[in-house]
Every structure is written in structure tokens, then in C-alpha cells.
Structure 1
């Protein structure tokens, strides 16, 4: 799937009214790393477990650069061929006409296009890329005329996948690993994430994290949605452990 950066309302994993983007240490670090990578027209890799907030961090940080920066994103959901990567780039760059039939002609077109002005290419779920496709990205970036910054974003396997390619990994300007929120970070950021948690007892927030969310933002999004439903249906106004246990039962985890 190719596109420019998605609109801000789609950042949340679930449709959750009043949810806010919260500034974590990882997001602040990503903002600096992305800015430095783009200024250097370099490549970086941002990786970590599912639900840790990688894609939201990248899109929210890069969105602040638009329209000054030409940013294109490709998301991979299966292992592509190199030909498929060429076609994804053709679509992402919004090139006119039909894609060229022959690889040499296709490569010439892509390199000429990438040489016209600076661009940033975000490759999401980059762990799906094989050696040939990673080498192709490096080939485009290495061309002295292209003005390309590349951001690889991926799950736990992304780091290992890129590290297996010496020619590519030696060119990665910045590596950043996203991890779970620590218990202290949870208490700092979750009350800011949604009004539902703003007045919650910190002990209840810690209880929810320990039994269900585990420092994972995607888990917190689901838990918040179910807790919001529980409050609405019971007529309660504040989170407590009874409400949380009902929400846990929907998540298939916790006590």
C-alpha cells in the first residue's frame, strides 16, 4: 500500500474519541533522529515490538515537516518482489503513464525522478523486505544524483533483517529501538493519553498495566476503549478495579 502520510485522526489504533498523542521519550528521540537523518539525506532504522508506537511516532513527527518536505510512504504486508517494489515506488512517486516494462528503463526513470528534488521515503513493515529488495533500495539511495532520505520502520525482525545486509547496514545513519513503556512512564503519560485516566488512581493505572497493557500503547488503546464502554454501561464515572476486570475479560488476558 502506497500513499503520502495519512491524516492525524487515523493515528489511533482504534476509533477512540478524545485520545491524544502523548510525547514520550521515545517520540522525542525519534523526532530528533528523523530530523537529523533527513537533513543528512541519510538512512535510519526505527524498530521494535508490535504496538510500541513506532508508526505513530514516525508519521506524527514527519507530518510536522509537510509540505516543506516531500514524504512518501510504502507499507508492506507481504514479501514483495523487486519488480513489485519498483511498481510501489512508481505509484508512491505519482509518476504519469504506465510503468516501464524493462528493469533498466524502470531504474533509469526512478533515479531521474529521485534526482529532481529532495524526498523522504518511509518503508513501513520493512522486515518483509528480502536481501534483493534491500539491495535495490540501497542502489537507489547510493546513486550520487538522487536526493533521498530513507526511513525503515519495522517490527522485532527488522533490525536483524537489515543487519544481515552489510552493504546496507553499514550505511544506516541512526538505529533506534522502541521498547515498552516503563512503569514510571505509564504513570506519567497514560493520564495524558485519554481523559478517562486523568483522574484515575495511579494504583489502578499500575494495576491495568501489570495485568493487561504491559507498557504497550496498542494494548492501552484497546483497554481504554473497553473501559470507556464499561463506564457507559454501568453508569459509573470513575475507573476502578471492578471496571478494569470487566475490560480485561474482553482482552482475553489479565485476572
Structure 2
């Protein structure tokens, strides 16, 4: 998501620790993980951070898929993730499959984001690839509703070693997380943050990032202006309520 909030930082949260623990185990077992949660809870941010925290760094390949990709489009996304010549191999089914199976022999992690976009037959193609006896690459399936998507592909779902939900921020977490995220929150009263969270953001980190982006230029123009409840209400109204 694109924001205008210079000075913002990545934040290590309890949710990050949970995902890091789940992925460490899954990668050690060369298994499959499903990371899911509602939109705006920061799933991909914590997945990328967690993979950087693995005890031993392993190659990470990220597949970007379109909406309801047909098998050639999914195959192309996987080839691209491994740095392979997708344009040359996409429509050469046997050759592409051999190349992908060869790539999966190497220890590493394949992250498929927005897995909820993929239909059941194409998910089963992923299952066939990771079922190869030579596969040593772990598979991380991530997305809003990813756990429901896997229910439509029971053969793949049955092979998932770890399911990890990324929940919304607890109300008690929000003030501390925001102060780590951006310094403009340092002087904001906890009770005003709590009110905005209860009435608007509801623990959705993406919503808080948007609110921060709207507050930043106001404070940048007038550093003496307090972020009070009225200004917070205005900032909350700009993006609308989170989903």
C-alpha cells in the first residue's frame, strides 16, 4: 500500500513472533504453511519480516498471481518467481513442469500471495509440484480467506503442516505499536487513540497506517498542532472505515 508518512518504521509485534515461530517450524520440515487473516491485518508484512528472521537464511521466491489465473498464467508466475524464462516455457507444459520440479529441489521458500485468487484446479497443480519426491522447497500460502480457499482444494489442504492466523491488533497493543510505527504518535493521549480504535480503526493496522498518512502533512505544516480527538476524528473520516 502506498502511503505518505515519512519517518514510518516497520514494527515488530506479537503477531510477528507467532508467524516467525510457525514459519521456522514449517521451513525446517520443508512443509506447507497457510497464513491467513482479514484484509489490512499485515499478513504479507509479517511473513516477509518473519522469513528474514529465520535462523539460517534461505532463498525466498515470491509468486505474484492475477485474479483467477488459468494454469498457463499460474505456471508463468511460478517460473518468474524462480527467475526462469516464463515467456519461453509457459506454453510448453512438460518442459515447464520439469524445470519447476528441478527448481523445487533446492532448499528455499516459495511464497504465494493472494492465494484466494486461485481456483481449485490450479491449487491442485501446486499440490502436484510439492508432492514430487525431490521437492525441498517449503510452500507458504498467504491471503485473506486463504484457509477458506484451501477448503476447496482438499488434497492440498490435507498437506498443510501449519495454519497461522494474523489477527487484528488488540486494543491494548495499539498505542505502543503506533508509537513504534511513527513518532507523531508519541504525544497523543492513550484515551484518544483508544477512542479512535474503537470507533474507526478497530485494530486494523492498514487503517492506522492510512490515518497516520493523513495526520503527517497536518503536523508537518504545523509542528505545534496537537493530535487531539477532533483531529483524529477528521483523519479517521478521510479513508472511511476499514473492511
* Fold agreement, TM-score > 0.5: yes
Q: CA RMSD in A?
A: 2.1
Q: Per-residue displacement from partner, 1:100-137 (whole Å, max 9, x unpaired)?
A: 6432222122112222x212100000001111111111
1:166 CA displacement? 1.9
Moved more, 24-33 or 223-232: 223-232
Report what 2:74 is aligned to: 85
Q: Per-residue displacement from partner, 1:135-192 (whole Å, max 9, x unpaired)?
A: 111111110112110000000x221110222211111011011121121121332222
Report what 2:177 is aligned to: 189
Aligned ranges 1:206-245 → 2 under 5 Å: 206-245=194-233
Distance 1:66 1:80 in 2: 34
Distance 1:90 1:191 in 2: 41
> Could you list the runs of 5+ residues in structure 1 that have no partner in the other structure?
1-11
Report what 1:8 is aligned to: none
Name the TM-score, length of structure 2 as normaliser. Answer: 0.91
Distance 2:222 2:57 in 1: 49
The yes-or-no answer on 1:169 pairing with 2:157 is yes
Paired positions, count: 241
SS in 1 for 2:187: coil
Name the TM-score, length of structure 1 as normaliser. Answer: 0.87
Report what 1:52 is aligned to: 41
> Could you list the runs of 5+ residues in structure 2 that have no partner in the other structure?
none
The yes-or-no answer on 1:63 pairing with 2:63 is no
Aligned ranges 1:140-155 → 2 under 5 Å: 140-155=129-144
Aligned ranges 1:4-153 → 2 under 5 Å: 13-65=2-54, 68-96=57-85, 98-99=88-89, 101-115=91-105, 117-153=106-142
Distance 1:89 1:208 in 2: 41
1:235 CA displacement? 4.7
